[in-house]
Amino acid sequence: MTRIQDDLFATVNAEWLENAEIPADKPRISAFDELVLKNEKNLAKDLADLSQNLPTDNPELLEAIKFYNKAGDWQTREKADFSAVKNELAKVETLNTFEDFKNNLTQLVFHSQAPLPFSFSVEPDMKDAIHYSLGFSGPGLILPDTTYYNDEHPRKKELLDFWAKNTSEILKTFDVENAEEIAKSALKFDALLVPSANTSEEWAKYAELYHPISTDSFVSKVKNLDLKSLIKDLVKTEPDKVIVYEDRFYESFDSLINEENWSLIKAWMLTKIARGATSFFNEDLRILGGAYGRFLSNVQEARSQEKHQLDLTESYFSQVIGLFYGKKYFGEAGKADVKRMVTAMIKVYQARLSKNEWLSQETAEKAIEKLDAITPFIGFPDKLPEIYSRLKTTSGSLYEDALKFDEILTARTFEKFSEDVDKTSWHMPAHMVNAYYSPDSNTIVFPAAILQAPFYSLEQSSSQNYGGIGTVIAHEISHAFDNNGAQFDKEGNLNKWWLDEDYEAFEEKQKEMIALFDGVETEAGPANGKLIVSENIADQGGITAALTAAKDEKDVDLKAFFSQWAKIWRMKASKEFQQMLLSMDFHAPAKLRANIPPTNLEEFYDTFDVKETDKMYRAPENRLKIW
């Protein structure tokens, strides 16, 4: 029998941990996942109903339903041939030489399913957030992150062997000759990429990845490809700079992307096309295509056909489905109450910043200016992105529709380069159980789907709601002042607005946060404090601010507050999935998220009478306070 004083997470969630079962088609179950399951069930019924009563007054939703129906027409999918996939494979198979590849770069980007072995992206410029910049990075790796390639990693060989076998089976389904050799060659190219790929720790410090290079310098360094012409074809102009996000890959470009490696690159591209096509055809191929992902996370069975049908539709019409969901399931009363909580949390932050003991007044005032400029978006967006008006289903196959959609989406990506950034756009659909802070627009977004119990309910007490959604709201506000967000000003630009001595003090606080979590053991292995520091700063700021707000309510109940905090982080997962999260997830393991932040709060000790002899005790001098 556990006690809160020894283990908040295990005590509050004891009954749930004993009885909750991980769904056979998922690697975990959590408070978030329980809401996902509920949403899936509701949306599957909603879309099935809409299939019988087509929404002719909503053209974007109508196209989503048409695609949904096509995705669920298994009789047709079972009969569909693979000619369209073979056409895509042929676009690469006919590139006999590296010279052929060089001469077809633009066509491959805009009119094929073949990914290039490097990536250009269009994203808000970190130093000029109202305009877009052209970003450059590597192609990604087959295994979850660079740590999996260490020879001592226990799963390296079995995962790579499984991927190769699974991929060769997929290639054979599409009548590709020498399938085993192609899969092996793809793995050889993947292995070449590992030393130049960013680590998860490097990706976590995204503000430090902004490396602008003048376009002339960028293209002149690359000798093996005409990137100047490609860039002009992509964005229809000559940008003044390119933002390099993976320096080692850029420095190694010509040693990786060259004539000598062409056969490996070609094989890698073929495997990507083949694997990407498996979701659009018969049941056997769908199951085969997902086998590697299930093996990676120890998922017992594939998603059902009904869930797969919904997944596929969401992959192209996420915001359309989200807007439908938000309007149907999220009420104005809830929106007004959450908005009230956001306002309360911002006021708490204003007060805490003004009374902060380690910041100078000058920096604190600028922090408050940034805080006041934060824009909250709650529930669902006012409008859909224009791109959805372009997605039209055809009389062709499901895969052919997907090909057309991908072409349209790719064209739109690069089309945006010449436009101003729309800071009101959402990067998450309303039916997603999550929330986020966007540093480039200084916005916090709370989709309708997370505004449910245990996070939020009009039926819950104020302390429960502050322990749930209140901590999430304050968490997202805190991201404006984590190790990444703190480097962006109130306009969303990467800009030094701190006094030097204040930022140095903040860096010392970051080191303390890293040390607080680094090496803490979990059932899947030790936590990496550097990888998870930004989310831990946000968690600590979130629970601290929400606690302050909860105490201002007449019905304050701090036992309910801390218990609700522990409930929202409840989770059970396969060991393999937990190990993967430890290597690449920027969030701390669920149990550590629940247990460590409260130990830095005096109110936790007072509420539960925590003594020095208890396991949750942390000496006062070791209790970390940032925001």
Positions marked catalytic = 476, 539
Q: What angle do CA 282, 286, 289 make, to 5 degrees?
A: 140
How far is it, in rounded angstroms, from Cα 342 to Cα 456? 13
How far is it, in rounded angstroms, from Cα 596 to Cα 603? 14
Decide: helix, strand or coil at residue 501: helix
How far is it, in rounded angstroms, from Cα 257 to Cα 146? 20
Q: Which residues contact 285 (CB under 8 A, 6 or more apart)?
A: 170, 173, 278
Neighbours of 557 (CB within 10 A): 17
DSSP strands (E only) in 192-285: 211-214, 241-244
Given the structure tokens 């991980």, which residue do they identify?
Answer: 22
How far is it, in rounded angstroms, from Cα 351 to Cα 146? 42
The backbone torsions φ and ψ at residue 144, rounded to the nearest 5 degrees and listed phi first, read: -55, -40
243, 125 Cβ separation under 8 angstroms? yes
Identity of the amino acid at 381: P
Decide: helix, strand or coil at residue 244: strand
Token pair listed for 568: 């929202």
- Pairing, β 443-447 against β 375-379: parallel
DSSP code per residue over 65-108: HHHHHHHT-HHHHHH--SHHHHHHHHHHHT--SHHHHHHTHHHH
The backbone torsions φ and ψ at residue 172, rounded to the nearest 5 degrees and listed phi first, read: -65, -35
How far is it, in rounded angstroms, from Cα 335 to Cα 327? 11
What's the 3-state SS for 459-522? CCCHHHHHHHHHHHHHHHHHHHHCCCHHHECCCCCECCCCCHHHHHHHHHHHHHHHHHHCCCEE
Task: Compute CA 167 distance to the chain's CA centroid, rounded to the nearest angstrom.
Answer: 25
420, 124 Cβ separation under 8 angstroms? no
Bond before 55 cis per omega within 30 degrees: no
What order do you get walking across the sheet with 119-125 strand by strand? 119-125, 128-137, 241-244, 211-214
Neighbours of 260 (CB within 10 A): 9
406, 315 Cβ separation under 8 angstroms? no
Task: Compute CA 77 distance to the chain's CA centroid, rounded to the nearest angstrom.
Answer: 30
Task: Compute CA 163 distance to the chain's CA centroid, rounded to the nearest angstrom.
Answer: 23
Q: Rg (Cα) of the chain, in Å, rounded?
A: 25
How far is it, in rounded angstroms, from Cα 83 to Cα 481? 52
Token pair listed for 505: 């003090």
- Pairing, β 28-30 against β 436-438: unpaired
Decide: helix, strand or coil at residue 127: coil
How far is it, in rounded angstroms, from Cα 455 to Cα 569? 10
DSSP state, residue 3? -
How far is it, in rounded angstroms, from Cα 446 to Cα 14? 29
